[in-house]
Amino acid sequence: MALLNILQYPDERLHTVAKPVEKIDARIKTLIADMFETMYEARGIGLAATQVDVHERVVVMDLSEERNEPRVFINPVITHKNGETTYEEGCLSVPGIYDTVTRAETVTVEALNENGEKFTLEADGLLAICVQHELDHLMGIVFVERLSQLKQGRIRTKLKKRQRQNM
């Protein structure tokens, strides 16, 4: 397993729309293992392949405190949304930035697991938020782009300032 580099907003590669996985082979299984290792190391709860510059429809998640409930979504599609809720989100690609985003309260997602088996998941609460957040990444959308233009501008300025300070 290997730690992967997480792209940082506003990197244009984060806006690449991911392509479906054609075949679940050793390469995809290695990618999944590396994504879990990267996500756990970064102390995240979800990671989309787009964030590690692999533009295929793969997402990993683990919302458990003990990090013992890994979930894999290959070629995920939200088939149903219901209700509306707000949640303060953060993102491994936008470190240190948190803001409130409006999303569906519940979602139904269809995907394949790491063995190529199709499953359907009905999600609410944090899991529903995380599913929507990560599937946005696969569509080339970063959560800050769901905020007002004013907030987006402030975040870009803050991140550019931080990048200059770290040089």
- Which pLDDT tens digits describe the chain residue by residue (167 residues)? 799 999 999 899 999 999 999 999 999 999 999 999 999 999 999 999 999 999 999 999 999 999 999 999 999 999 999 999 999 999 999 999 999 999 999 999 999 999 999 999 999 999 999 999 999 999 999 999 999 999 998 998 888 888 888 87
CA dihedral 102→108→111→114, nearest 10 degrees, is 80
Task: Give pLDDT, residue 97.
Answer: 94
Where is the binding site for Fe cation, in residues? 91, 133, 137
pLDDT of residue 161: 85
CATH architecture of the region 12-166: Alpha-Beta Complex (3.90)
Cβ-contact 42, 60 below 8 angstroms:
no
d(CA 25, CA 8): 28
Name the residue ranges covered by the structural domains of the chain.
12-166
What are the binding residues?
A: 91, 133, 137
Examine the residue annotation and report whether 41 is marked as an active-site residue of this protein.
Answer: no
